[in-house]
C-alpha cells in the first residue's frame, strides 16, 4: 500500500546513560515536545503506536508499556498499540501509524520509540539482545560463528558483536577492505555526531584514534560497534487534510513505508528480505537511489554501514569502500549518510532508533538541522532492521521522506 502522510512534529531526548530517568520519563518527554513542535494539543491525538524492545528484560515492564508511558503525561482512552519488532520496533510503529492515516482511519497519530537499556549489571542489558535470534538455534549458531571462542559473548559484549566480526573478516577477504576502511566509517560518523547535541558521543575521532581503541572482536575496535543507549523519540503523523488545517508549510511527507520479515530462500537467490524492502521502498516512492539527498541507515557496526551502501544501491557492487574513501558519504559529499552520527555515535536505544532516524530526516528536509544541514535536501531514506534468523536480518524497515 502506498502511504501518504505528513510528519507534523518531531522530538527526542539526548541519547546516552540515563540511570536517573525512568522509562516513563524517557518516553514522555519527547511526546510532549513533539506535540508542541506540531502545534497541536494532546487531546488532538486519536491513536498511538509505541515501539519498545527490551523493557520487559531490563526494567520488568511488560505488556502495557505504551499505556504506562503515555498515561504518565496525561494521554489515555485512545487506542495505544505496543510494537516490538527487534531494532525496527520504532520504524514499524511509524509504518503502522502511516498506514492508518493513509487509509483514512485517523487524522492525527502519535509514534513513540523508547528504550532504557543501561543497567548496573551489563549481563542484563546484553540478555535483551541475545533473544533477538532463534533461541533454539542460538548455541549452535554461536559455536559456528566463534569457533568455540565465545567467552564473554552475551555477558560483557553483545552477541551481535561476534556477527559483525564475521561480516568484517568476510568483507576483507572478498573485497580487500582493511581495518582502516572500517575506522573511516567511525571517524566520519564521529564528525557528524560532534555536530548533534542529542548524540551520546560528541567527540570527533580520527581514523588513527579509532584504530587505537581496544579490539572488541577482531578486527573491530570499540568505536566500530554501536553502543547501547537510553532514550526516546516521538513523531506526530497527520493526514494531508489535517496538515492543511494546521497550516504546515513545506510539509515533509512519508511517501513510502515498507516492512518485511525473514523468509527461507536459496542461499544464491538474488532477492532477500533487505533487497525486497529496498526495491519496494524505491518503487512506492517513485524514485531511485540517485534521487536521495540524505540517508540514515542502521550502522550497528562500521562494516554494516559499508555493506548497506550496496544494499541501497548507492554504488555498484564492490565499490562501497571507494564510495566511502572518496568522501561521498560525508557531509559535503554526494550522498551524506548518517548525518546524525548514526548508531555508532548517537547510540542505539533499540526501540527509539527508528523514530530518531525520522527526526533527523525531517529536520534535514525542513532545513533545520543546524551545523549538519545538507544543503537543499528534499528526499531522505531511513534504513532500519534488526534480529537475525539463519544469518539474515529478521525484520527490515525502509521509509522514504520527501519535501
Query: Active-site positions?
Result: 87, 348
Burial of 356-378, coded b for 16+ CB within 10 Å and e otherwise, reads bbbbbbbbbbbeebeebbbeebb
HSE-up of 258 (CA within 13 Å, CB side)?
21
Amino acid at each position: 500500500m502506498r502511504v501518504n502522510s505528513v510528519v507534523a512534529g518531531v522530538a527526542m531526548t539526548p541519547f546516552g546513560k540515563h540511570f536517573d530517568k525512568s522509562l516513563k520519563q524517557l518516553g514522555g518527554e519527547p511526546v510532549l515536545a513533539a506535540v508542541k513542535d506540531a502545534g497541536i494539543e494532546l487531546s488532538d491525538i486519536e491513536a498511538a503506536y509505541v515501539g519498545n524492545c527490551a523493557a520487559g528484560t531490563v526494567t520488568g515492564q511488560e505488556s502495557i508499556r505504551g499505556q504506562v508511558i503515555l498515561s504518565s503525561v496525561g494521554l489515555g482512552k485512545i487506542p495505544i498499540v505496543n510494537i516490538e519488532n527487534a531494532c525496527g520496533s520504532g520504524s514499524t510503529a511509524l509504518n503502522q501509524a502511516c498506514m492508518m492515516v493513509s487509509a483514512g482511519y485517523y487524522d492525527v497519530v502519535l509514534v513513540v520509540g523508547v528504550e532504557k537499556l543501561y543497567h548496573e549489571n551489563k549481563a542484563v542489558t546484553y540478555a535483551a539482545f541475545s533473544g533477538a535470534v532463534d533461541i533454539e538455534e542460538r548455541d549452535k549458531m554461536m559455536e559456528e560463528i566463534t569457533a568455540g571462542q565465545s567467552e564473554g559473548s552475551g555477558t560483557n559484549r553483545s552477541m551481535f558483536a561476534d556477527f559483525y566480526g564475521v561480516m568484517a573478516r568476510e568483507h576483507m577477504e572478498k573485497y580487500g577492505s582493511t581495518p582502516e576502511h572500517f575506522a573511516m566509517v567511525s571517524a566520519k560518523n564521529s564528525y557528524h555526531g560532534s555536530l548533534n547535541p542529542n548524540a551520546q558521543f560528541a567527540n570527533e575521532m580520527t581514523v588513527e584514534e579509532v584504530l587505537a581503541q581496544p579490539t572488541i572482536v577482531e578486527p573491530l575496535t570499540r568505536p566500530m560497534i554501536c553502543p547501547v543507549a537510553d532514550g526516546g523519540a516521538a513523531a506526530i503523523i497527520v493526514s494531508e487534510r489535517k496538515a492543511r488545517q494546521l497550516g504546515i508549510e513545506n510539509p515533509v511527507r512519508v511517501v513510502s513505508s515498507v516492512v518485511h520479515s525473514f523468509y527461507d530462500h536459496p542461499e544464491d537467490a538474488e532477492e532477500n528480505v533487505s533487497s525486497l524492502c529496498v526495491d519496494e521502498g524505491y518503487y512506492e516512492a517513485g524514485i531511485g537511489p540517485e534521487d536521495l539527498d540524505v540517508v540514515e541507515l542502521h550502522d550497528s557496526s562500521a562494516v554494516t554501514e559499508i555493506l548497506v551502501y550496496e544494499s541501497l544501491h548507492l554504488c555498484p557492487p564492490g565499490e562501497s569502500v571507494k564510495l566511502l574513501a572518496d568522501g561521498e558519504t560525508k557531509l559535503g559529499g554526494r550522498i551524506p549518510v548518517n548525518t546524525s552520527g548514526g548508531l555508532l555515535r548517537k547510540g542505539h536505544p533499540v526501540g527509539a532508533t527508528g523514530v530518531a532516524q525520522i527526526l533527523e530526516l525531517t529536520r534535514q528536509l525542513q532545513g533545520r538541522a543546524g551545523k549538519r544541514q545538507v544543503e537543499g535536501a528534499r528526499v531522505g531514506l531511513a534504513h532500519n532492521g534488526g534480529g537475525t534468523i539463519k544469518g539474515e536480518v529478521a525484520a527490515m524497515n525502509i521509509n522514504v521522506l520527501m519535501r
